Chains A and B, each alone.
Chain A
Amino acid sequence: MWAVVSALLCTALAAGTAQGAGLKSGEFDPPRMAPDFALRGSDGAELRLSRYRGKVVALGFGYTFCPDVCPTTLADLAQARKALGDAGRDLQVIYVTVDPERDTAAVLRQYLTAFDPSFVGGTGTPAQLEEVRKAYGIQIEKKNYPGSVAYQVHHSSYVYLIDREGRLRAMKPFGVSTDDVAHDVRILLASAAAGQSSEAGLRIRDPWARRAPMIDKKGGSNGAVYALLVNPGKAPDALVGAASDAAGAVEIHETYSSMGMMMMRPVKKLALPAGGKVELKPGGFHLMLVNLKHELKAGETLRVTLEFERAGKIPVDAVVR
């Protein structure tokens, strides 16, 4: 009997365990605008970060003579881009050299094309490159091989992820799997899609969805949508409804605990205070997709339109996990 009691208690507790809804990479909060720069691009044009506004940018630092870290990082990014399918076209990899002595624009072009022809390299004067490194906190150390003029450059091995609006959102450490990179880029592509911030300034960050673990009483399949609702304005607002072509109805729900069991109830209005934020998350407030019209598959994107009292309707694209 005790085992049964213990198991029931465990089940109730597990149901309330919050799951992470963010990126797999390190994330900046609040995100700031990524420092722009002007370098010589490997494609022959001036390389400015702002040139890629509208795309998600993976910004890395390295050099073509790098024996291990750079080839691995670039191969991972190329693989992640392929894994994204059509959406990969909206991922731009920029690789800025830490070794301008050897990495001319032509050398960078030849090197990067071997990984993916869309990758763009950046080079410039030592002073220009130092300024870019300083803005991004990149550290380097040039080391000569003993008794030789040959050298290598030890450098920070991570990659920054910059969203479509040009904000520095995340830092991917060396060694993060290709799947995790694709996962994070997918979220950034969806979260910064056009129309996800309103004229009133509301921001819907990192929307994602999943199929509900339980089948409802009528045998239908439900799902849930989560996101961070941010109201930077001076007037309060409220989420009053939502709709999606993927479900028969979309309801605002709240998860609560009663007698040790996790229950859900509909909520008519979810207040969003001025200068505040509300997180829709597992075990808390969420949008319930009632009677899904098709089985949700990990990686697909659902268009959900949120309706706010003041800001009106805001469409968001939620990635299914």
Chain B
Amino acid sequence: MKPRLAPTLLIATLGLALAATAWGAFCPISVDSRERVFEIPKGTWARRSAGEPLEVLPSEIHLTVGVTDVLVMRNQDDVPQMVGPVLIMPGQSFRMPFAVASSYQFACPAHLNGQLTVVVAPAPEAGWSRLRWRLEAMVRGLG
């Protein structure tokens, strides 16, 4: 490598890193879908009736305002299902948007402990918060 090329390469690398950091910290987060979808599979009621201790939904669901803030629950089973606060008919979906960051507790017969918690985190603001959110999302994606 020629002696003059090394500083140029270093500056270019630093510039790219700076631009990537600026993008990660300030660029609005854009996602393909703001929905987090959960399905109650066909046969859930039959398996539960047979005594199987079946959990089809996590007891705690995490959402983020402005990013993934719409909870969708689909009932693919053959019988109506109470999920959280609502009765969802076979083949029907229930779509619930959350606009306020908080922890929401719902009585839920679909869970063995009878409780569904939806934890909604605030929208990652421009700066360190947004950069950290992107890094965490990247780590989750790699995992």
Q: Would A26 and B27 count as touching, CB distance under 8 A?
A: no
Within 8 Å of chain A (Cβ to Cβ): is B94? yes
Interface flags for B93-106 (1: CB within 8 Å of A; 0: not) read 11111010000000
Q: Would B85 and A10 count as touching, CB distance under 8 A?
A: no
Within 8 Å of chain B (Cβ to Cβ): is A146? no
Q: A10: which B residues are within 8 A, CB to CB?
A: 23, 26-28
Q: Would A17 and B30 count as touching, CB distance under 8 A?
A: yes
Question: Residue on A with the closest CB to B100?
Answer: A175
Bound complex: CA A156 to CA B22 (Å): 47
Q: A22: which B residues are within 8 A, CB to CB?
A: 95, 97
Q: Which of B28, B85, B95, B97 contacts A29 (CB 8 A)?
A: B95
Within 8 Å of chain B (Cβ to Cβ): is A20? yes
Q: Would A158 and B27 count as touching, CB distance under 8 A?
A: no
Within 8 Å of chain B (Cβ to Cβ): is A136? yes
With A28-B92, A32-B89, A171-B85 known as contacts, the answer to whether A139 contacts B30 (CB < 8 A) is: no
Q: A20: which B residues are within 8 A, CB to CB?
A: 34, 70, 97
Q: B107: which A residues are within 8 A, CB to CB?
A: 139
Interface flags for A1-26 (1: CB within 8 Å of B; 0: not) read 01101110110011011101011101
Interface flags for B28-42 (1: CB within 8 Å of A; 0: not) read 101000100000000
Within 8 Å of chain A (Cβ to Cβ): is B19? yes
Q: B22: which A residues are within 8 A, CB to CB?
A: 2-3, 6
Q: A136: which B residues are within 8 A, CB to CB?
A: 87
Bound complex: CA A10 to CA B15 (Å): 18
Q: How large is the interface on A (under 10, 10 to 19, 20 to 34, 35 or more residues)?
A: 20 to 34
CB distance from B116 to the nearest CB of A (A): 13
Question: Residue on A with the closest CB to B84?
Answer: A26
Q: B99: which A residues are within 8 A, CB to CB?
A: 24, 180
Interface flags for A125-167 (1: CB within 8 Å of B; 0: not) read 0000000000011010000000000000000101000000000
Q: Would A26 and B86 count as touching, CB distance under 8 A?
A: yes
Within 8 Å of chain B (Cβ to Cβ): is A90? no
Question: Residue on A with the closest CB to B70?
Answer: A20
Q: Which of A231-282 contact B (CB under 8 A)?
A: none
Bound complex: CA A146 to CA B15 (Å): 70
Within 8 Å of chain A (Cβ to Cβ): is B82? yes
Bound complex: CA A158 to CA B82 (Å): 14
Q: A13: which B residues are within 8 A, CB to CB?
A: 27-28, 30
Q: Which of B26, B34, B87 contacts A137 (CB 8 A)?
A: B87
Within 8 Å of chain B (Cβ to Cβ): is A116? no
Within 8 Å of chain B (Cβ to Cβ): is A219? no
- Tell which of A6, A171, A180 has the most Cβ of chain B within 10 Å: A6
Bound complex: CA A29 to CA B95 (Å): 8
Within 8 Å of chain A (Cβ to Cβ): is B18? yes
Q: A213: which B residues are within 8 A, CB to CB?
A: none
**Which of A's residues lie within 8 Å of B, judged by CB?**
2-3, 5-7, 9-10, 13-14, 16-18, 20, 22-24, 26-30, 32, 136-137, 139, 156, 158, 171, 173, 180
11 pairs, CB–CB < 8 Å, chain A vs chain B: A2-B19, A6-B26, A6-B27, A10-B28, A14-B28, A22-B97, A24-B97, A26-B95, A26-B97, A28-B94, A158-B86
Further 5 A-B residue pairs, CB within 8 A, beyond A136-B87, A137-B86? A10-B27, A20-B70, A26-B86, A28-B94, A139-B107
